Amino acid sequence: MLNLRRTLRHLLAALCLLLMSPSWATHIVGGDLGYEFMGETAPGTNMFRYKLKVRIYLNCGASSNFPTIVDWLGSPDVPLRIGVYIEDPDNTNGSKVQYTIGNALVTTWNIVTPDLPEDCILGEGDCVEESLFEGEVILPLNDGGYHLYLQGFARNGAITNLVDPGNTGIGFYSFIPPATIPNSSPVFQGTPVPFVCITDTTTFSNAAVDPDGDSLVFSFQIPYGSQDNMAGIVDPPFILNWNIVEVLYQPGFSAIQPFGSGGYAYIDPETGATEYSAGMLGNWVVAVEVKEYRNGLLIGRIRSDLQLLSVVCANNVAPEPLGGQLTASYTVNAGDTLCFPITFTDFNGDTLGISVNGALFDPNVVFPAATLTGALSGDSLATASFCWATSCQQGQAEPYVFSVLAFDNACPPGVYNAAITVNVIPVGTPLQITGPGALCIGVGTYEYCAQGGPGTNYAWTVTGGNAVSPLDQPCITVEWTTNGIGELSVTSSDADCIFTTVQPVNVAQPPPASFVVETDTVCTGVRTTAMNTSGAGTTAQWTYNGTSVQFNNGASLVLPFNSAGTLELTITDQNGCTSSTSQDFTVAPFIDVVDFRIPNVFTPNGDNVNDLFELISTQDLRDCYTITVFDRWGKEVFANTDNGQAWNGRRDGGQQASAGVYYYIIKLDEQTYSGHVSLMR
């Protein structure tokens, strides 16, 4: 920002008419309320930080009851109270309910006094104070977004076009879209207290800079009032009436005719450049609103409240562009340098100066930034040189806008103000890499692509893996070999511009799969119980001979006798990485696995020794066989058809069987055994 302080001093040279009447004990001249998106508090919280920004202009002259911002606040530690209101997408026309109050503390306040020629006493000793406030709020994700509202009281009582201005408040407003649309509000450039000459047309730039590069549309609107007309620092209302209260114009005045039928006002909807002409002396309130559009969608708006002062300019002709016409639009290809002269002349032969205002000259916002050099002041003629060596990344759909100001040293100074747009044509953009961002080693190859336009040249590099396809094509195939964070980089060239895109890739090592097996013999085979001993956080899938089985910890699978098979475990971790392990099983025939003998004598006399006729084995086979017993005449004495019961020497009726030799048939597994057993008492 070049010579801005001097520019402000010249612009404020005629503010004495605003401040000279001591009968009005009022103070607020103008200002605006904006915000800056600061991002999510932490990943996944859905809570988002916003910096609140307030700009307020006060009448700091002797006629003000609060000549400084600290007088109004009572202390620099007292914050402005900004209401944050929820937007209900199902009731967009309803009143807004307060979610929270944001506190904004004053960060700077500066008194700007006129810098006048020696023989000009107009406004000498009077001033306007600019104060900047900042605060912060944390807001949850809301589908409708949020409204910001700050109210103050009261306006300058000398305002001409409002009804009862000394008892009329002022409101500052802006809208925050849902955090799914990260957005920061536009920032107005320059001072909100310009003056206009009687019976002449005065230009003024209301340019705003949008940090997101959104499309801006400027318009005149009715200034906001305060919902609660209360002096001092007051809380915002809990319920914000909708629509927001606006000021009342005197009959014959309006937002688009702030000077009445005898005046003229025009605003360029694309640049915010304005032209004013007033037919009489006075103080005039005007509001300029900026609406933000992204991809054709309205996402935000902010309204700046400003006050104009009309004065007699003593037939002074303001400086003009050389040749009478200023070139207001330029075009350059990204990566090229744009230079052009800005030359003004003064018809009256006054000394004049040139300054510019806009984020285009701030390297903290635009880098590399533009510069203005040369003779920024001169006698009747001044020529400055604008130069901007654009970078390849600065191409965008929306133009860059800055304001240029030429002013002379008359009393009051004549001023020419206009907006200049610079369209930077994109010649290429960084390529977007598509492909998996998280993957596993050892499970194959992966394809990545970065499609550019015709004539694009490609150069890929891979860190942590091997490219198994050419590196000069739009798509490459990669085999990842190193556990950890790998990296892909693709460089593309378009004309003289080179763009490089880097994408990290999370390459994970699959966890080792393992399981242990316990076995025991059952009637039909070998019962196998497997336990997954892989790392925690994995899911298991079991198969036996290629067929999926439900085989989690604690479950069992019976492997039949005289068979062979493979039990396999496949695990998957939280990254989707898999690994497998297996064990082979061979089960022998029953006779080779089960060891038993059939007794040929038993003594069921109740001494708990050899009292039962059953298979004798180190294994528990009771549930695996049936016994049928016959006497010498072939009559059935005992039958164990349900398994699990041995013969206790009694007939089925419960009577003791007599001592003697009995015939038995035993069925075990798929085998049948028969013979004789002696019952002795």
* C-alpha to C-alpha distance for 568 and 544, rounded to whole angstroms: 6
CB atoms within 10 A of CB 582: 13
> Facing residues of 449 across strands?
434, 475
Which pair of structure tokens corresponds to residue 216?
A: 């801006």
Whole-number Å distance between alpha carbons of 545 and 382: 92
Which residue, chain included where needed, has tokens 């999510």?
40
Is residue 334 a contact partner of residue 394, using CB atoms and an 8 Å limit? yes
Token pair in block for residue 280: 């009489």
Cα separation, 531 vs 557, whole angstroms: 12
Neighbours of 432 (CB within 10 A): 12
pLDDT for res 526:
85
Apex 359 CA angle, 353 and 40, nearest 5 = 160
Is residue 149 within 8 Å of 172, Cβ to Cβ?
A: yes
Q: How far apart are CA 676 and CA 150, in angstroms?
A: 108
- CB-count exposure of residue 561 (10 Å: 0-12, 13-18, 19+): buried
Q: Three-class SS of residue 473?
A: coil
The widest CA-to-CA distance across the chain, in whole angstroms, is 151
pLDDT for 21 equals 34
Neighbours of 287 (CB within 10 A): 21
The H or E element containing residue 187 is strand 187-188
- 359: DSSP letter: G
- Residue % of the chain over a pLDDT of 90: 44
pLDDT tens-place string over residues 38-67: 999 988 899 999 999 999 988 776 666 777
SS3 label, residue 515 = strand
Q: Write phi, then psi, for 234 (nearest 5 degrees).
A: -120, 155
pLDDT confidence of residue 338: 96
In the chain, helix, strand, coil percent, each to 5? 5, 50, 45
Q: Given this model, what pLDDT does residue 228 score?
A: 92
Inter-residue contact 384 to 372 (CB < 8 Å): yes
pLDDT digits (tens, 9 = 90+) for 357-379: 888 998 988 899 999 999 888 99
- Nearest partner of 545 among 529, 513, 568, judged by Cα: 568
pLDDT the model gives residue 457: 84
Residue 364: DSSP 8-state: T
Q: Which helix (H) or strand (E) holds 8?
A: helix 4-11
Q: Residues near 71 by Cβ (< 8 Å), separated by ≥ 6? A: none
Q: How far is CA 410 from the centre of its chain?
A: 51
In the chain the first and final C-alpha atoms are separated, in Å, by: 122
Q: Which residues contact 643 (CB under 8 A, 6 or more apart)?
A: 622, 623, 624, 625, 626
Q: What is the pLDDT of residue 4?
A: 33
Provide the pLDDT for residue 61: 65
**Burial (CB count within 10 angstroms: exposed 0-12, middle 13-18, buried 19+), residue 547:** exposed
The burial of 323, by beta-carbon neighbours within 10 Å (0-12 exposed, 13-18 middle, 19 or more buried), is given as exposed
Which residues in the chain come in under a pLDDT of 50?
1-25, 123, 125
User: In 3D, which of 103, 94, 89 has the Cα closest to residue 236?
Assistant: 103
pLDDT score of 117: 60
C-alpha Rg value of the chain to the nearest Å: 45
Cβ atoms of 270 and 217 closer than 8 Å: yes
3-state class of 361 per DSSP?
A: helix
Selection from 398, 388, 391, 462 nearest residue 428 by Cα: 391
pTM over cut 0.85: no
Residue among 67, 138, 141 at smallest CA distance from 103: 138
